[in-house]
Amino acid sequence: INAVAGAFSEDLPVVCIVGGPNSNDYGSKKILHHTIGLPDFSQELRCFQNVTCYQAVIDSLKDAQWKIDTAICKCLEESKPIYISVCCNLVATPHPSFSIQSLIPLSLPPKQSNQMGLEAAVEKAAQLLNSAVKPVAVAGKKLRLAKAQAAFVELADACGYAVAVTPSAKGLFPENHPHFIGTYWGVLSTAFCGETVEIADASLFAGPTFDELETVGFSLCYKKNNAIIVEPERVVFPNGPSFGPILMMDFLRALTKRLKPNPTAYENYRRIYVPESGPLQSEPGEALRVNVLFKHIQKMLSSNMAVISEAGDSWFHCQKLKLPQSCGYEMQIIYASIGWSLGATLGYAQAASNERMVLCMGDGSFQMAPQDLSTMLRLGQRNIIFLINNGGYTIEVEIHDGPYNVIKNWDYTALVDAMHNANGNCWTTKVKTEEELVKAIQIAMGEKNDCLCFIETIVHRDDTSKELLEFGNKLAAINSRPPKPL
């Protein structure tokens, strides 16, 4: 259920199919196993109600087809998970519909924009943006939900604005685009990106989510009175009306035709931009630093890879990676379930077998879900996993430190070797210096290219990104606000 909740937060259409009691037991008042000891078989369904958009219980063949089709339609229409429980004595029973005719493809009515609303919204947006001196465009995570990534790129090509992404939208806009300026994340933004967005006198946000973490404790300083927010099916104007239903793709494509080219914000960004320097040079044999680790991860990335960023300090290091064309990227920031990324990597790699996953996760996160790695081995996946071992939950240390953030250290490479059990392709190593890291990456990319490669990196407990320090400070302040007076 935790994974389904995470999928709900990311607008992912997941079909969760579970086995249910024998259909004859419904209403029998019997107490069955896998329950909490009550003669009520809806316990599990009620748990899933808050993390799925539709629930169906298949306890009869009579209405099974209708229930399942309805559930799948809801899943696709809302792009949210659904829950289908099938009674255990019906699972292998052929449904009569399969013997009558060939399968009829499922059909959904297409969503449409309100044309009058679309024209009015485009007119108002064009007027605001064309009258601005230095407008910018910012891509948000719901671009993917709206299937509007291509339309947003077309708009960026046409208008010449400086273009940024929110942290959870990294990878949805090509980072080799000539006007891409980085990640807009308030005080955690990549170099000079935050300043460019926040001094803009007009901005177009396409698909943003202004939650607590994306806004660094609701501290963003962009000019809200001049910001147009484009949601998947609605356009919201500052201090004014909202228009809908308007599909984001329709709006962006219509607006593209009305915008005047204006590269002023990007030109200003170019004038002030100073490239960030790399980490300090390591001394021979010096203990490995996390920024050195990510320097070498950057060098190994290619277009046939995908980066998976675990919740924690990996968020901030991975945001600074420059993704090659077509290199995928995934993070989970709203639900922020520690340990989510191992299972996500398993699923991503199975669906995109031509890509090689690069997973960056901490030791605390790994301890939540190590069994997923065993399944990776069974399926013959060749992911590269960088386990950052610093002996604790680093992000939690920076928000609210305590003894509960210290974890028992494992022999991680030995654990993976035990799962491997000389069956399949797997290579593990433990690195403590830059020299050892460089050699490990060379092996993973070379002679062990067809293997699952598990690289445990030993780093200091206090070795964090500067962004995590700022993030922890902001979140600690938000969490420690006193109650409102009675």
By three-state DSSP, how is residue 64 classified?
A: helix
Question: Does the annotation flag 380 for ligand binding?
Answer: no
Question: Do residues 143 and 249 make contact, with C-beta atoms less than 8 angstroms apart?
Answer: no
C-alpha 297/C-alpha 306 separation (Å) is: 12
Q: Rounded to the nearest 10 degrees, what angle do helices 371-378 and 412-420 cross at?
A: 40
Question: Does the annotation flag 390 for ligand binding?
Answer: yes
Question: Do residues 128 and 137 make contact, with C-beta atoms less than 8 angstroms apart?
Answer: no
- By the 10 Å C-beta count (0-12 exposed, 13-18 middle, 19+ buried), 101 is classed as exposed
Main-chain dihedrals φ then ψ at residue 29, nearest 5 degrees: 65, 15
DSSP states along 174-242 = -TTSTTEEEE--GGGPSTTHHHHHHT-SSEEEES----TTTTTTT---S-GGGEEEEETTEEE-TTS-E
Distances (CA, A) of 72 to 67, 68, 75, 203, 294: 9, 6, 5, 37, 41
DSSP states along 438-452 = HHHHHHHHTTTTTSE
Q: Write the single-letter amino acid at 307.
A: V
407 CB-side CA count, 13 A: 19
Residue 108: how many other CB atoms lie within 10 Å: 9
SS3 sequence of 321-340: CCCCCCCEEEECCCCCCCCH
Annotated binding-site positions for Mg(2+): 363, 390, 392
Annotated binding-site positions: 363, 390, 392
